[in-house]
Structure 1
């Protein structure tokens, strides 16, 4: 079976959960199918030898809206997919490329939904009128796809609510996964010291992009009121817009003025350093206002760390409230709820350790990437088998 996997992010350029998903899915799919990966970037001979084709936006569009630049990459991807038996796209950045390949070559198109444009209205701040184009590309691809994979049960409900023309039988749940051989507790503390974090003092950790979806402004306001003995460590970069970047910096400066032990790490850290930070955190915090699943919560759990997270989207399918962490309702009292939940974990190290151990067991037993890949290939086979019978 010859499969084309379409994505914006692929190593070494991974900045979000969708990129992590594709990285590990591709690794596990490789032994199971004849796989080509199509992603953004500048290609090399080594990439081509490994079955990776990188595409860049057309230079004539360097000053154009990002949505138009994305569409130029989609055209390049579609042109390179001849000879594939099936194409599988991830995020709106690649969905149109998969849809065009379906039309051009008559092959099935599978879409994995990592988020939904109608549920991210703040993207208009980033894309301007391009937000209408990104929504159009996503809707067109979803409604025409042979199958849509939702990364959680909550995500499946959102897909069907946003796109009622989509046949529910074509929407399948395949949860995100975690590599528990890679994400596991690391007793070392050298990465903490390099980051300016005191290993002997508890800290609350955030890892994610600076975006309204991730709820970073809410977090910066919430942690003003938590136990002053705790450090606050923010591995936060890749701001969506200059506006959210300025807002983040202002809130960070205000927070730093009222409490000590606040550390901002704006660069993308190597994965081993992130794992070490996750391991030693007293609590990992995920304040997202929208989250189809949240791979980063799985990563924290696999490292044995309790999670404080918002009760939205697919997060409750990962974080078991009171068992592997604490869930907080996103309501008018969200920031106060975050502060209370963090103090609850910080104030009871024995219970926190119990949550961390339960989270690690849950990550190991229920969310392996090998199972994700097998289920994905089964879906490919069902689609191709159905076409042959028809």
Structure 2
């Protein structure tokens, strides 16, 4: 079987969970089939392509056409999609995120092959993307809707995401949606050796390893809920050190809003560190192993691969009870879920934001006040990530979807 995976992100250009998903999925699928990854951001050098022992993995990179270099981001995306669609040569094409939806839809028609799309998020539930794309949001929404409604199979990364798909696109037959969770490669998250240079991240950012430390990792985007966390941290025990690994703001306005909130928090509470750069994976791994708990305040999260990564490092997790997060974090076992009531207008905005903020702070304080219980939760989280979310298992389930579609 020959598979074309179409994606915006692929190493060395990965900035979110969808990119991690495609990277890991491609490596395990390549042991089972011939896989070609078609990705944005130029051709890859040989040393930038993951090596798969005994497998077949090819990576083709594409640039935005020069004629569209000054166009709206959505039109730039479509320029890359047209190139991908023309080059696709698999038995099946599998598109990830709206960025590759048009490529998948056109490739399926042009080459008369089945189309599979994976829902990592949905444009109707991310209205704040209009701040980033302007009128291009209408185009991204159209491309996603057209691909999803015409796909031979839709893969949802959680049961929560399946329900969101049916809400956003009620014309889709529920029988056409398969649930295949995101995964984790436990071997990639082992504790670094004591002399590993990755540990220098603590020294570089003046993080005190003797203090109980809470960690946040995520992009500065509305869906990640960082503004609510910054409010909640005013209510968290000041003896708890907080590290915010948060970069790549969606817009300058949001970046400025978060920067102002952080400055206020640092002045009034202190003991908080903001890392704005996107850390390389070894340093992020060291950071997760060197902290005591993880927090995920998202208001929209189809599954939450960041929580799986934290659990793979043995961290207990405090997370919003939204989307697919409750399918990963088990309340009272691997951490605590923070209840959240949300508007049903697509924004996910908490209907009672003050309650959400106070409940989040209370859950953090409760977890950090009992280090022994927190360690036990971290150990339970590690076992859950290892046993329930392995990429080998997910590759097998994905291959089953392909075989069903081809039949």
State TM-score, norm by structure 1. 0.96
| Cα deviation 1:305-348 (Å, max 9, x = unaligned) | 10000000000000000100011022411111111111001111
Aligned to 1:339: 361
Aligned to 1:249: 259
Aligned to 2:73: 66
Aligned to 1:31: 31
Aligned to 1:349: 371
User: Matched residue of 1:334: which SS?
Assistant: helix
**Quick check: 1:99–1:145 contact (8 Å CA) kept in 2?**
yes
Aligned to 1:105: 111
**Quick check: 1:88–1:109 contact (8 Å CA) kept in 2?**
yes
**Quick check: 2:27–2:57 contact (8 Å CA) kept in 1?**
no
Aligned to 1:378: 400
Confirm or deny that 1:57 pairs with 2:64.
Answer: yes
Partners in 2 of 1:378 and 1:24 — Cα distance?
A: 17
* Among 85, 107, 126, the residue aligned to 2:132: 126
For residues 66-215 of structure 1, what are the structure 2 equivalents within 5 Å? 66-81=73-88, 83-186=89-192, 188=194, 189-215=199-225
Aligned to 2:346: none
* Among 211, 216, 219, the residue aligned to 2:226: 216
**Quick check: 2:4–2:35 contact (8 Å CA) kept in 1?**
yes
| Cα deviation 1:272-304 (Å, max 9, x = unaligned) | 111121122221000000000000100101111
Q: Which moved more, 1:257-266 or 1:360-369?
A: 257-266
Q: Which moved more, 1:179-188 or 1:263-272?
A: 179-188
Confirm or deny that 1:277 pairs with 2:290.
Answer: no
**Quick check: 1:10–1:39 contact (8 Å CA) kept in 2?**
yes
Partners in 2 of 1:181 and 1:219 — Cα distance?
A: 30
Deviation at 1:256, TM superposition (A): 1.1
Aligned to 1:5: 5
Aligned to 2:328: 318
Confirm or deny that 1:266 pairs with 2:276.
Answer: yes
For residues 358-369 of structure 1, what are the structure 2 equivalents within 5 Å? 358-369=380-391
Structure 1 residues 166 and 73, CA, compared in 2 at 3 Å: closer, same or farther? same
Partners in 2 of 1:283 and 1:127 — Cα distance?
A: 35
Deviation at 1:185, TM superposition (A): 3.8
Partners in 2 of 1:271 and 1:68 — Cα distance?
A: 31
| Cα deviation 1:103-162 (Å, max 9, x = unaligned) | 101000000000011011111111111111111000000000000000001110110111
**Quick check: 1:185–1:304 contact (8 Å CA) kept in 2?**
no
Cα RMSD (Å) of the superposition?
A: 1.4
Structure 1 residues 45 and 263, CA, compared in 2 at 3 Å: closer, same or farther? closer
Aligned to 2:308: 298
State TM-score, norm by structure 2. 0.92
Confirm or deny that 1:231 pairs with 2:241.
Answer: yes
Partners in 1 of 2:206 and 2:99 — Cα distance?
A: 36
Partners in 2 of 1:13 and 1:224 — Cα distance?
A: 35
User: Matched residue of 2:187: which SS?
Assistant: coil
Partners in 2 of 1:375 and 1:218 — Cα distance?
A: 36
